[in-house]
Structure formats: structure tokens, C-alpha cells
Amino acid sequence: MQHYKRFVLPLFLIRNLMERGLQMTKNPNAIVHEDIVHMANQPFDWNKLENTTVLVTGASGFLATYIVELLLYLSAYEKKNITVLALVRDKAKAQRRFKHHGTRKDLVFLAQDVCTPLDAGSLGPVDYIIHAASQASPKFYGSDPVGTILPNVLGTQHLLTLAQEKASRALLFVSSGEVYGNLQSHQIPNTETEFGYLDPMDVRSCYGEAKRMGENLCVSSWRQYCIPVKIVRPFHTYGPGMDLNDGRVFADFVADIVSDRDIVMKSDGKNTRAFCYIADAVLGFFAVLLKGDDGEAYNIGSERETSILALAEMLVTIFPEKNLCVVRHDVCSPAGYVGTKISRTCPDISKSKQIGWMPRVDIREGFTRTIRSYLMP
């Protein structure tokens, strides 16, 4: 990632923002703010978002927070005049998460479950829809599998209906690399057309199967009703703002480093994953939204595989002054957590490269930034 430049707002732009009722705010976390500025400075055709209204579901979630922050930055500092409709279940929580934006007129909270149809008549124009509302943490797959399924199926259907009513320019469905199931070694890295076994009778499949059905609803609506849909399949995205208690191994490891604890392995660590930094992933989402083809899916992730053990061993070296180490010891998973049987994942991102996207942040830099974001006051 390039070095970040100090951001100074010209006086004429300050006056312009004040006249439009936009607050001149930045994210209080310096790492997040640097990421947002970096993303906004990429050579994307941001003009396609000018004078538009963007509905973002699950807006206070991990991935969606960065999406909202980028849109608000483009609206204010790049003068794109974007109105963000932030759909959230817990309005108070969302207001706390975005409190540094105060009462900006271009950020509107819609408090309801995505599984309930939106009142289209009260919304006005909706030019783009980014559907990122979903329970992505494995701790919910055992404790709330139905609640994991419905936002991706019922919620997706409601949003497709809205997109049709509003003649939206595009609906972006944030799917997952889990739709691929358990692939064979010769299929990895996998393209967007290679799939493995996913057992519908295994409760752990609630997430992958729901994403598959959400994708099929999208592409079926595109074919039958000409609703412009696009799909992204992110792989193991990490970064500032992720829930350190969500049960995923990389979140557990970051929590250990932040809390000055040795990393205790719960397996032999041989499974491999391709980890992608959140700023890279979100740029991938916008590349697909702005340049991807309708009715198509795109892998968004890193091309580099890293074993769980190698990740743990790397993380304890980032802050040597903490004097932490990796401890190999079997520990039972927490209640409700349903582990995966997939031993290896890595996407082929050739298709995303064709529309001008590829990840830039290497794993060490990304996790260093992530950990530092949690250590900031």
C-alpha cells in the first residue's frame, strides 16, 4: 500500500460543505481514516456515484461500515453528493458506530430487519443497493441457523423487489467464498464456476446454502425481470472493526495479540486460507458494482494461501516487545460454534483482475494495521 499523504481540506471546499449541511468529519481511528482516504484516491470512476442514493443493508456490520464510510467520504470531500440509506436492526448501535458523523444530512438510518419489506413509497429514489446484511460468524451457525439463512434469502428477495420498483442501476449481493463448498485439491485456486460438496443436511451449511440461494435469486431475477444484479464472493476478509469475539480463528488470534495473550492453537494449524485486508476487499466490491457485468459473480480475495499455524507464528512476531508465543494445545470450541470441514481455500481472481481490481496489502502489513487499530485510544 502506498504511503498516505496528510489530508488538508481547502477553504472553498469547507464553505461548500457547510452550505450543503455536511459535517467535516473523519473517522476517529487513524488506521481506518487512512484506509478510507486511500480507497477514495484509487482511479475508479467515482463519478458514477455522483448525485445518487445508495442503500446499504447491515450498515453497521464489519464490511458494510467501510462501505458506508467510503461513500460518505466521497460525498463530502470529493463532492459526489451521495445519500446513504443505512439499513440497520439496531439504530442506537449504528448511531454509536457512526457518531463522529454527527447529524449529516447525507446519512439516513433505516431501522428494521431486512427480512421485512421496505416501504418503497417512503424512500424516494434508490439508485444502488448493496446487500451486506448477514450473520457471517460461525458462532451463529449452530445457535441461530434460521437467522443466518433468512437475510440471504428472504431479505434478498425483498431487495430485488425494491430494485425493480425503483429501477435501480445495480444491486450488489455480498455473497461468500463458502458457496464453493469442499473443493478438491485440483480445483484450487478455484474460478467462479467450480464448486464442491456442500451437505444441505449439515447445519453448518446454513451459511453457504443461504448464500447459494441468494445468488440464484439474484441471477434468476436478472434473467426473468432484467434486474441489474452483480455478485461478489469475498474470502476470509479481516481488518479494523471486525468482531474479535466472532469465533473465527483470525479474529481470535488478533484478540490474543491485542490482549497480550499467547496464541493457543485449537488444531494442528495445517488448514490454509487466503486472507484479504478489508480495504482491498471493499475496493473489489466497488470495482464490481461500477464495472462488473450484470448477472455475474466475482471472487474477491487474496491469491496467497497461508496456513493457520503460519498465521499464528507470524502474528506473534509483529510486536516482539510483547514477548508472546504460539502454544499448541487442543481446546474445545465454544458453545454454538460449528467448525468447518474445509481444509483449504484460495480463489482464482483472474476475472476480477479483468475489471481492474487486485489486492495490494500483504498479509503482514494488513494484520499489523488491524492490530494497531485496536491498540489506539
Domain boundary assignment for the chain: 11-243+276-305+346-375
Percent of the chain exceeding pLDDT 70 equals 90
Q: Is the pLDDT of residue 21 over 50?
A: no
Task: Specify the CATH number of the domain 11-243+276-305+346-375.
Answer: 3.40.50.720
Assigned C-alpha cell, 265 = 492453537
pLDDT of residue 334: 54
55 neighbors 112 (Cβ within 8 angstroms): no
Q: Report long-range pairs for 332-336 (Cβ below 8 Å, ≥24 apart).
A: 333/247, 333/266, 334/139, 334/247, 335/142, 335/143, 336/139, 336/140, 336/142, 336/143
Determine the Cα–Cα distance for residues 262 and 368; give it in Å rounded to an integer: 17
207 flagged as catalytic: yes
If pLDDT is split at 50, 70 and 90, which confidence band does 28 have? confident
Torsions phi, psi for 299 (to 5 deg): -75, 135
If pLDDT is split at 50, 70 and 90, which confidence band does 55 have? very high
The strand pair at 83-88 and 326-328 is best described as unpaired
Nearest Cα neighbor of 148 from 289, 247, 295 is: 247
239 neighbors 369 (Cβ within 8 angstroms): yes
pLDDT in tens, 284-311: 999 999 999 999 999 999 999 999 999 9
135 neighbors 149 (Cβ within 8 angstroms): no
pLDDT of residue 268: 87
Catalytic residue among 73, 141, 207, 298: 207
Q: Is the pLDDT of residue 113 over 70?
A: yes
- Mean pLDDT of all residues belonging to the chain: 91
